[in-house]
Amino acid sequence: MNLSQKSNIIQSIATQLGFDFCGISKAEKLEDDARRLEKWLQEGMHGTMHYMTQHFEKRVDPTLLVPGAKSVITLLFNYFPSQQQNIGSPKIATYAYGNDYHTVIKQKLQEFFFMMKEKIGDINGRGFVDSAPVLERSWAQKSGLGWIGKNGNLINKQQGSYFFIASLITDVELETDQPIIKDYCGSCTKCIDHCPTEAILPNKVVDGSKCISYFTIELKEALIPNTMKGKFDNWLFGCDTCQQVCPWNRFSQANKEIKFTPLPEILEFSTKDWEELTEENFNLIFKNSPIKRAKFTGIKRNLQFINNISNEQ
């Protein structure tokens, strides 16, 4: 079996498992990304996300994650929802409308690897979905699946940026895809202009320590800094503003994964519903949701922060 035949098998498996796009790149150290990441960390743009400083070499070198790695398979899975929240409700990032993507995609990656072994032979590898030191967006660009936008997101020319990115690092050599070199954002600066906290800087740099997603999910402190007062635009968990204003997302299509069907509570909860939510019901409703990452105390903190702003206006 030659490299091309093996790569065709990979593409076929990706389609069978419902992935929207699949690209393959050679497993090699990401030298340019290493320099960018080091500078980003030195400037403190990771805020209190101390885990970002760990396993630096593994983040930029896939052979340290999978010994003998030869290929990185990158997979995109659409999460754009068919329904949107009620207008005026505290806003939830669309990736969190349904079941936790970590669980859903991880199961698909396990199936993917099992099918690869069946059809290609005795191979080794590991699958990752936002749960290990892997620079998924960089691999996606190297695999020809899109380019990195000014907002730091991977943008696919056919369907925009509402995708989960999964990586499968393997020791099998495959025919690789051509990376996308051109920046199709052009002179557009809508994501920069509309970012509520001015977290999106020039030259495709995002100050993670100023992002609403950072404050509403990653920040574990009891209080959100007063410097962010009046800037949250009613976001309770995460933020989609830079994706909502991106012209390329006019091509987004509703996903067909039943496990990403929006929870009724996310679509219908009013501010009052969120205020009256008990910890017991929170744990029950969101037990399979990414929202549980913020925990009940985090959601209540975020709600109080955006409510205080609303009450003062």
Q: Domain tally for the chain?
A: 2
Residue pair 199/210 in contact (Cβ under 8 Å)? The answer is: yes
Express each pLDDT in 202-239 by its tens digit.
888 999 999 999 999 999 999 999 999 999 999 999 99
Q: Does this model's pTM top 0.85? A: yes
Dist CA 100 CA 98 (whole Å): 7
62-109, pLDDT tens digit by residue?
A: 999 999 999 999 999 999 999 999 999 999 999 999 999 999 999 999
Note whether 115 and 211 are same-domain residues: no
Candidate list 33, 61, 130, 233, residue with the active-site label:
130
> Distance between CA 144 and CA 155 in Å, rounded?
11
Q: How crowded is residue 187: how many other Cβ atoms within 10 Å of its Cβ?
A: 4
Domain span including residue 206: 190-312
Domain contains 144: yes
Q: For residue 235, give the H/E element and its range.
A: strand 235-237
Residues pairing with 26 in the sheet: 71
158, 12: one domain: yes
Residue 183 inside a domain? The answer is: no
Q: Who's near 135: CB < 8 A, 6+ residues apart? A: 30, 33, 37, 59, 60
**282, 234: one domain:** yes
Q: In this structure, are 140 and 205 located in the same domain?
A: no
Determine the Cα–Cα distance for residues 219 and 222; give it in Å rounded to an integer. Answer: 9
Same domain, 196 and 280: yes
Distance CA 248, CA 229 (A): 30
Q: Does residue 185 form part of some domain?
A: no
Q: How much is the average pLDDT of 297-312?
A: 81
Determine the longest span between alpha carbons in the chain, in angstroms.
68
Q: Is residue 149 part of a domain?
A: yes
Q: Is residue 298 part of a domain?
A: yes
> Do 157 and 8 share a structural domain?
yes
Residue 73 included in any domain? yes
**Same domain (yes/no): 132, 49:** yes
- Catalytic residue status for 100: no
Cβ contact 91:232 at 8 Å? no
User: Is 184 part of any domain?
Assistant: no
3-state SS, residue 260: helix
For residues 126 and 206, state if they share a domain: no
Q: Please say whether the beta carbons of 238 and 217 come within 8 A.
A: yes
Tokens 């995109």 map to which residue?
76
Regarding whether 203 and 105 lie in a shared domain, the answer is no
Q: What is the pLDDT of residue 43?
A: 87
